[in-house]
């Protein structure tokens, strides 16, 4: 098979990680794989030597002329690879790809990677999505946001967990709480800081480590200072060895207002870390976590519930009642449920037009 993945660029986001994971596996299996980048040549993830990365433009910054040029360049590229299967990642790129492929022979699959309800141009999106041949959603809740004409041609395929993760930690876990995610409004780290402020009064030995970079760095630093947490909240920034850094931590917390499926949550569970997540749209966390069996779910935006969940895990560790350890052990099973080999096989069948 010849497969073209279309994306803006290969920044360090979750969608790009899934894309490169699939591209690398397919290339390793002998497929001809091209990653077509429409808005920059940044490559944050390692690529298989046989994956061809092609950049055909730079960011438009809203410039209509640049956007029109992007549309024509995508179309020209797809026409030159008329037998290729095309897989587009993210809503905006999906629209460009759908338009660019109009009347061409390629089988075009559009993949949603976040909460469809957050789209600012849902009417236009739903109209142009009619041009796609297939659709991949991460959860059923995401799929159900779309008209029947889209749903009946779609597949629900969750994110894969890569096989090269470190082994789950088996020793006594430290008194560290970790969170991983871009410092952007979607992740609602401000809620986590407030919850931790209350938690820290009862459990002063714990520290909070937030990994990620983004536009809210200064705002979070200011909030940390206002709450008097400078000595116990560390904004870690970006680290390439993040999994080794969090592997022995006491708990992992995802405080997002919405997500597709959080790769960082899945990896934390795979490491056996007791995890807490907001039960956020579009159901990605609930797909991974069975409440009180392999993690804890709390309502979106509920700081009191988040604090209570953190206290519950800390109390379990202090008392040795085994609850935190139990959900950590159960969480490791996610490695098999969402194994890369299984998820990639589902993708490949669907790309080829098979169910």
Show the domains of the chain with their CATH numbers. Answer: 2-160+339-351 (3.40.50.2000), 176-337 (3.40.50.2000)
Per-residue pLDDT tens digits for 323-343: 999 999 999 999 999 999 999
**φ, ψ (nearest 5 deg) of residue 63:** -75, 115
Give the DSSP letter of residue 94.
H
Question: What percentage of the chain carries pLDDT values higher than 90?
Answer: 93
Q: How far apart are CA 50 and CA 48, in angstroms?
A: 5
pLDDT of res. 11: 84
Q: What angle do CA 55, 58, 64 make, to 5 degrees?
A: 130
pLDDT digits (tens, 9 = 90+) for 97-117: 999 999 999 999 999 999 999
Which residues make Cβ contacts (< 8 Å) with residue 81, sequence separation at least 6? Answer: 2, 4, 34, 106
pLDDT above 70 (res 51): yes
Alpha-carbon distance of 39 to 57, in angstroms, equals 5
pTM of the shown model: 0.92
pLDDT (average), residues 167-177: 94
Cα 197 from Cα 183, distance rounded (Å): 18
Tokens of 42: 């940044």
Dist. CA 156–CA 142, nearest whole Å: 9
Q: Helix, strand, or coil here: 5? A: strand
Instruction: Render pLDDT for 122-162 as a digit per residue (tens, 0 to 9).
Output: 999 999 999 999 999 999 999 999 999 999 999 999 999 98
320 has pLDDT over 80 = yes
The packing angle between helices 189-202 and 217-226, to 10°, is: 30
Starting from the edge strand earliest in sequence, which strands make up the sheet with 207-211, in order? 233-237, 207-211, 176-180, 251-254, 275-278, 296-298
Crossing angle (nearest 10°) for helices 64-80 and 91-100? 60
Mean pLDDT of 19-45: 95
**Is the distance from CB of 140 to CB of 306 less than 8 angstroms?**
no
What is the distance in angstroms between the CA of the first residue and the CA of the last residue of the chain?
Answer: 17
Of 10-14, 183-187, 199-203, 317-321, which gets the smallest average pLDDT? 10-14
Q: Is the pLDDT of residue 288 over 90?
A: yes
Bridge partners of 251, per DSSP, are 177
Q: What's the mean pLDDT when you consider all of the chain?
A: 96
- For residues 208-226, give the mean pLDDT: 97
Residue 355: pLDDT band (50, 70, 90) is low
């Amino acid at each position: 098979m010849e497969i073209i993945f279309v994306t803006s660029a290969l920044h360090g986001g979750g969608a790009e990680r899934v894309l490169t994971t699939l591209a690398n596996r397919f290339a390793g299996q002998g497929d001809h794989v091209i990653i077509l980048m429409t808005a920059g040549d940044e490559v944050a993830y390692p690529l298989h030597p046989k994956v061809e990365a092609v950049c055909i433009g730079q960011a438009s910054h809203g410039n209509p002329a640049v956007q029109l040029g992007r549309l024509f360049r995508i179309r020209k590229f797809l026409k030159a690879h008329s037998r290729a299967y095309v897989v587009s990642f993210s809503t905006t790129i999906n629209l460009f790809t759908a338009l660019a492929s109009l009347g061409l022979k390629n089988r075009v699959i559009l993949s949603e990677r976040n909460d469809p309800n957050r789209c600012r141009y849902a009417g236009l999106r739903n109209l142009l999505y009619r041009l796609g041949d297939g659709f991949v959603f991460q959860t059923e809740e995401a799929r159900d946001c779309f008209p029947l004409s889209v749903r009946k041609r779609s597949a629900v395929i969750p994110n894969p967990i890569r096989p090269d993760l470190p082994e789950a930690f088996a020793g006594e876990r430290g008194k560290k709480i970790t969170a991983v995610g871009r410092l952007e409004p979607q992740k609602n780290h401000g809620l986590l800081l407030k919850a931790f402020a209350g938690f820290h009064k009862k459990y002063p030995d714990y520290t909070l480590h937030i990994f990620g970079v983004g536009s809210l760095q200064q705002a979070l630093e200011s909030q940390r200072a206002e709450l008097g947490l400078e000595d116990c909240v560390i904004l870690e920034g970006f680290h390439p060895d993040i999994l080794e850094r969090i592997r022995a931590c006491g708990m992992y917390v995802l405080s997002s207002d919405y997500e597709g499926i959080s790769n960082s949550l899945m990896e934390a569970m795979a490491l056996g870390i007791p995890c807490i997540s907001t039960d956020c749209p579009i159901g990605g966390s609930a797909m991974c976590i069975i409440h009180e069996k392999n993690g804890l779910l709390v309502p979106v935006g509920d700081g009191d519930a988040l604090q209570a969940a953190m206290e519950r895990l800390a109390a379990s560790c202090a008392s040795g009642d085994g609850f935190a350890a139990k959900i950590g052990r159960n969480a490791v099973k996610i490695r098999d449920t969402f194994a890369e080999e299984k998820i990639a096989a589902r993708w490949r069948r669907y790309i080829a037009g098979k169910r």
